[in-house]
């Protein structure tokens, strides 16, 4: 249910009592009273911009001790919190000049004294209805905003998941392809060298055959975390390239730097001592790595990207040929 709170600004005790008795018959939650402009401003707390409206409808006497109602109305209407709240002016003044000024000040309606009960009830009722609709609309809009914020967050999560390898949590091949192209462009712009490491677990088929696919998955996760740990600069990037193959992109890194990182990864994997009794390299799981490095001088084409990967792949192939568990540049 939408709640309606009303403020009556009037300095006449009899009028206050009369209005209170009328308003109590309407669907109103609370009725507040103020007698002067100063008291009204303080009650509404107009100075605070982040104020939440505590009043839904204002019934405002035009003649008060300290300030006239037209000025009060203008001030209320210029506050962010209360600018949409209906203000109904009440006065004994009959002149149409007053009417004009009241509406120009932003009054929603106008009630003449002496107050006619039927007229008063009808006018207040229509203002209440308007305010209720307004509040419902605001609530709907707020709910829509909340839903849209939630959707955005979900979308962001989905986007992230779409670029992530489900098993290891590393970037997937799709993100690798995009990142490599972006990094090549950046390296060209900044005239930096860029390095790529391709890594492949040795004798992994035999590992699966020996320990089962599930333990194979566990091994892949451990290898991935070593890669992530070693690609530790903000500009480093590690991905699962596919199957038991991984890739690391190192921005602003030359051959020696990249070989060092690759060698660290190789050693860290060996030091995990993941038992692999049927391996032909060691009794533990090992990794072969190929490194390529580039200083881009020409346009980044698909051909250039592919040949960069190819170079790392060739180096990896040589590492396998030479007996695995090693880094080749
Ligand atoms: P090499 O030392 O020459 O690299 O030999 P290898 O056995 O490691 O290479 P091969 O390409 O013959 O086999 C790769 C194996 O990796 C076969 C495949 O079942 C396994 N593999 C690929 N993806 C996954 C995965 O997600 N989970 C598990 N458990 N195994 C995988
Ligand atoms: Mg008065
Ligand atoms: Mg392979
Ligand atoms: Mg392999």
Res 2: pLDDT? 86
| Distance in Å, CA 288 to ligand 3 centroid | 10
Ligand in nearest proximity to the CA of 279:
1
| pLDDT band at 238; cut points 50, 70, 90 | very high
Contact 76, 89 (CB under 8 A): no
> pLDDT tens digit string along 150-199?
999 999 999 999 999 999 999 999 999 999 999 999 999 999 999 999 99
Nearest residue (by CA) to ligand 1, atom 5, is 203
Is the previous residue joined to 256 through a cis bond, with omega within 30 degrees of 0?
A: no
Which uninterrupted H or E stretch holds 90? strand 87-91
Write out the two tokens for 213. 């696919």
C-beta neighbour count of 14 within 10 angstroms: 8
Specify the pTM: 0.69
User: By alpha-carbon position, which residue is closest to atom 31 of ligand 1?
Assistant: 243
Can you tell me which atom of ligand 1 is nearest the CA of 217?
Answer: 29
Q: Is 149 exposed, middle or buried (0-12, 13-18, 19+ CB in 10 A)?
A: exposed
Would the CA dihedral through 39, 82, 136, 86 be positive or negative? positive
Give the pLDDT of residue 50.
75
Q: How confident is the prediction for the chain on average, in pLDDT? A: 94
Q: Which of 244, 267, 299, 303 is catalytic?
A: 244
Lowest-confidence region among 33-37, 50-54, 208-212, 218-222? 50-54
Per-residue model confidence as pLDDT tens digits over 189-209: 999 999 999 999 999 999 999
Q: What is the pLDDT of residues 56-69, one digit of tens each?
A: 999 999 888 888 89
Average pLDDT over residues 305-316: 98
Atom of ligand 1 nearest to the CA of 206: 7
Evaluate if residue 8 carries a pLDDT over 90.
Answer: yes
Question: What does the block give as tokens for 280?
Answer: 């032909």
Q: Which two three-digit tokens encode residue 119?
A: 């007229």
pLDDT band for position 47 (cuts 50, 70, 90): confident
- Residue 62 is predicted with a pLDDT of 87
- Rounded CA gap, 315 and 318, in Å? 5
Please tell me the predicted confidence (pLDDT) of residue 183. Answer: 97
**Look-up of token digits 């290898």:** 223
3-state secondary structure 21-87: HHHCCCCCCEEEEECCHHHHHHHHCCCCCCCCCCCCEEEEECECCCCEHHHHHHHHHCCCCCCCCCE
CA separation for the pair 303, 245 (Å, rounded): 22
Q: Is 205 in the pocket of ligand 1 (CB under 6 A)?
A: yes
Count, residues in the chain: 329
How many angstroms separate the alpha carbon of residue 223 from the centre of ligand 4?
12
Q: 244-278 pLDDT, tens per residue?
A: 999 999 999 999 999 999 999 999 999 999 999 99
Alpha carbon distances (Å) from 98 to 43, 70, 174, 189: 26, 9, 72, 71
d(CA 310, CA 227): 20
Distance CA 309, CA 304 (A): 9
Phi then psi dihedrals of residue 276, to 5 deg: -145, 80
d(CA 234, CA 27): 61
Residue 136 has pLDDT above 90, yes or no: yes
> Looking at this predicted complex, what is its ipTM?
0.96
CA distance 319 to 288: 6
Q: Which residue has the tokens 């590393």?
A: 170
Residue 244 among the catalytic residues: yes
């Amino acid at each position: 249910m939408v709640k309606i709170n009303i403020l009556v600004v009037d300095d006449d005790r009899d009028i206050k009592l009369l209005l209170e008795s009328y308003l109590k018959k309407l669907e109103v939650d609370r009725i507040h009273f103020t007698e002067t402009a100063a008291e009204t401003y303080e009650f509404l707390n107009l100075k605070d911009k982040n104020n939440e409206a505590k009043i839904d409808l204002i019934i405002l006497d035009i003649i008060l001790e300290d300030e006239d109602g037209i000025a009060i109305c203008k001030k209320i209407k210029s506050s962010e919190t209360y600018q949409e709240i209906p203000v109904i002016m009440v006065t004994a003044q009959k002149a149409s000049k007053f009417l004009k000024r009241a509406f120009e000040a932003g009054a929603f309606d106008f009630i003449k004294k002496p107050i006619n009960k039927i007229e008063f009830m009808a006018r207040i009722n229509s203002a209440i209805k308007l305010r209720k609709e307004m509040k419902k609309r605001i609530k709907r809009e707020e709910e829509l905003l909340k839903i849209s914020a939630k959707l955005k967050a979900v979308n962001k999560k989905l986007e992230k998941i779409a670029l992530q390898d489900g098993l290891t949590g590393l970037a997937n091949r799709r993100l690798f392809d995009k990142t490599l192209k972006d990094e090549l462009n950046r390296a060209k712009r900044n005239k930096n060298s860029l390095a790529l490491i391709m890594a492949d677990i040795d004798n992994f088929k035999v590992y699966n055959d020996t320990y089962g696919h599930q333990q194979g998955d566990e091994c892949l996760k451990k290898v991935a975390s070593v890669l992530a740990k070693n690609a530790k600069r903000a500009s480093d990037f590690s991905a699962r390239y596919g199957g038991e193959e991984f890739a690391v992109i190192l921005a602003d890194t030359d051959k020696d730097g990249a070989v060092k990182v690759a060698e660290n990864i190789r050693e860290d994997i060996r030091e995990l001592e993941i038992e692999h009794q049927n391996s032909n390299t060691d009794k533990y799981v090992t990794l072969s790595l190929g490194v390529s490095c580039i200083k881009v001088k020409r346009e980044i084409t698909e051909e250039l990207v592919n040949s960069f990967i190819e170079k790392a792949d060739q180096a990896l192939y040589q590492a396998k040929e030479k007996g695995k568990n090693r880094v080749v540049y």
